[in-house]
Amino acid sequence: MQDTYSGRTSGYSRRAVLRQIGASGVSAALFQLGGVKHAFAQLDDRPWSYLRDVEARWLAAACDTLIPEDDYPSATQAGVVDFIDFQLATDYGRGARLYMQGPHDLGTPDQGYQLAFPPQMLFRRAIETLSTNAPSLSDLDVEGRLTAMQDLSERDDMLTDDIPTATFFNELLNLTNQGYFADPMYLGNHDYAGWRMVGFPGAHAYYMHSVDDHNRPYPAPPMGVAHQPGAGSSPPRAISAKR
């Protein structure tokens, strides 16, 4: 694929890549961002809401390959794994708002989620399958993770008898992207990492003092819906890294 992303020492601009995710899908450029350069160690002692430790480590490796640390925090540093855990434990993960009755034909991408089981089971079964048939993503070095994620993004086969590989990868990519840019009240976007990256001010309630300012950066720091001045948020329940 032609190199369309540039501007950083890595050869690609993560900002440009993330802006292209929704519009053009995943390109090879996404996996040439450099990646994290460490192995993933054990989790801290705070319990997860849905994930098992081995699943959280796999997700940390996957998400940090999609959004590695550069001028801004990596996915795990921004709490993306915490966000995914929260989503899988709540209505999204349980399929509470999905029509789960049959028939369960595979359908087409524009028909949305078509599986016979909710997203939380999609992630559990997919990660287990990927870790059984090959070394766990969290045990690979940076080049191995880049290669594995590149391969996963390009596969058009069935991961299991009833899980298309593309369905799992697209859900993973969507949740990673959402976790980096969601309001921090959903446990991702820690310290407004995603909003700071794109210059989004968040949910300020009063703009009258700057309504006549045009073509200027908005000077106020980002503010989330549940923002409390002076209150600090808990650090991401992320994987400790050995460098």
Q: What does the pLDDT look like over 186-196, one tens digit per residue? A: 989 999 999 99
Joined tokens for residue 170: 């697209």
The answer on pLDDT for 13 being more than 80 is no
CB 65 within 8 A of CB 46: no
Q: Is 20 exposed, middle or buried (CB count within 10 Å of its CB: 0-12, 13-18, 19+)? A: middle
Q: pLDDT digits over 70-126, tens only?
A: 999 999 999 999 999 999 999 999 999 998 888 888 777 778 888 999 999 999 999
Distance CA 235, CA 243 (A): 19
Q: pLDDT digits over 20-47, tens only?
A: 444 444 444 444 444 433 344 455 677 8
Joined tokens for residue 226: 């549940």
Per-residue pLDDT band for 179 (boundaries 50, 70, 90) equals very high
pTM over 0.85: no
